[in-house]
A and B are shown apart, each in its own frame.
Chain A
């Protein structure tokens, strides 16, 4: 009988509606988190800018003899891969992991021992499952960057670079282009590239500062702070991208659910009408037979 089809369709519509409610809620949560993370990123910029400026001024007048600038022959390379802890954010993790996987394989093919420092559970699980060396992982940052995380990761990287465990450290994360677009990128972290601290406007560096204590000591204090901050800014950008990706994909999911509901409702109404028509025919047929 046609009535059963209507019942099944009603059930499906209800279930899609439930899913839609969930995706809608997740979209709102992601939007709120995105906004907060973006605000944080903006608030953090003045510090990062000042630190870079200072780095430039010092680099312009001091010799870059810090060990963190030292370019060594690369025997062992570390990739810091920033993914999310949770899924439901579209192709966000897949895109990053694809790039990271390729980079790691290429590095290995070139005869360099390669390890992964995974930030985010998705990346950690992926590389662990496939038998890659995972140097360390953080799976509890929860998409909310703060400067203590930058410090922890930055200090790990510096420590491993200084004691010779790794000769090069690179970061792979999703750069935030816009709410709709996040592009995975692969950037060098250590050794610090001199370009990164090269001076853009000569005017400011010309200032005749009193350095207290000496430039070299100042440099020694500044470089770790600078590096921590670089890691923190990268983390904060990666998390901003994550929330943006989640928001976009959840919004798409909500829309798709809406379309599905429309299509199912149309089908249900048709079946209901068909059922009524056939019942009427039965009645008319029965009446005529009398």
Chain B
């Protein structure tokens, strides 16, 4: 069995997850980052997306939709600091679908750059939620 490492996910409101994993996939600013045990020390920016944790070699997986934040990897501990973190069970797929439609519409008739950035983030968040529940 592959070596496991510790994963801690903290949000402003609580410690959302704490446990072991053999691999983690994290949505980084420059693309998805794959992490295995003994990863080199790393600090990376995290964008809204899906974090996938492989719990063991059997392929049992945990998927979570996360918000903007950071990941820090050091000494086989992965620390994720994100603004939000929701497990598949906590996500309301219907609501996320509606939010996605809304955000897409907003994005379509947006002129202002700042608002566009916000709408784009909203789309990313909604898509992440849907992917975390496996509806996309």
Give chain A's interface residues, CB within 8 Å of chain B.
40, 43-44, 46-48, 50-51, 54, 57-58, 146-147, 150, 207-213, 217-218, 221-222, 225, 228-229, 232
Q: Cβ of B10 < 8 Å from any Cβ of A?
A: yes
> Given A54-B81, A212-B30, A213-B30, A147 and B45 touching (CB < 8 A)?
no
Q: Is the CB of B13 within 8 A of A212?
A: no
Q: How far is the CA of A3 from the CA of B67 in the complex (A)?
A: 73
Q: How far is the CA of A228 from the CA of B68 in the complex (A)?
A: 13
A131 to chain B, nearest CB (A): 33
A11 to chain B, nearest CB (A): 50
Tell me the nearest residue of chain A to B70, going by C-beta.
A54
Dominant SS among interface residues on chain A: helix
Enumerate chain A residues within 8 angstroms of B83, measured Cβ to Cβ: 147, 225
Q: Cβ of B124 < 8 Å from any Cβ of A?
A: no
Q: How far is the CA of A174 from the CA of B45 in the complex (A)?
A: 34
Q: Cβ of B38 < 8 Å from any Cβ of A?
A: no
Q: Cβ of B33 < 8 Å from any Cβ of A?
A: yes
Q: Is the CB of B72 within 8 A of A50?
A: yes
Q: Known pairs A147-B11, A209-B43, A211-B42. 8 more at Cβ < 8 A?
A: A46-B8, A47-B11, A48-B12, A57-B43, A147-B83, A218-B44, A221-B68, A225-B81
Q: How far is the CA of A136 from the CA of B118 in the complex (A)?
A: 22
Q: Is the CB of B44 within 8 A of A212?
A: yes
Q: How far is the CA of A211 from the CA of B72 in the complex (A)?
A: 10
Q: Cβ of B74 < 8 Å from any Cβ of A?
A: yes
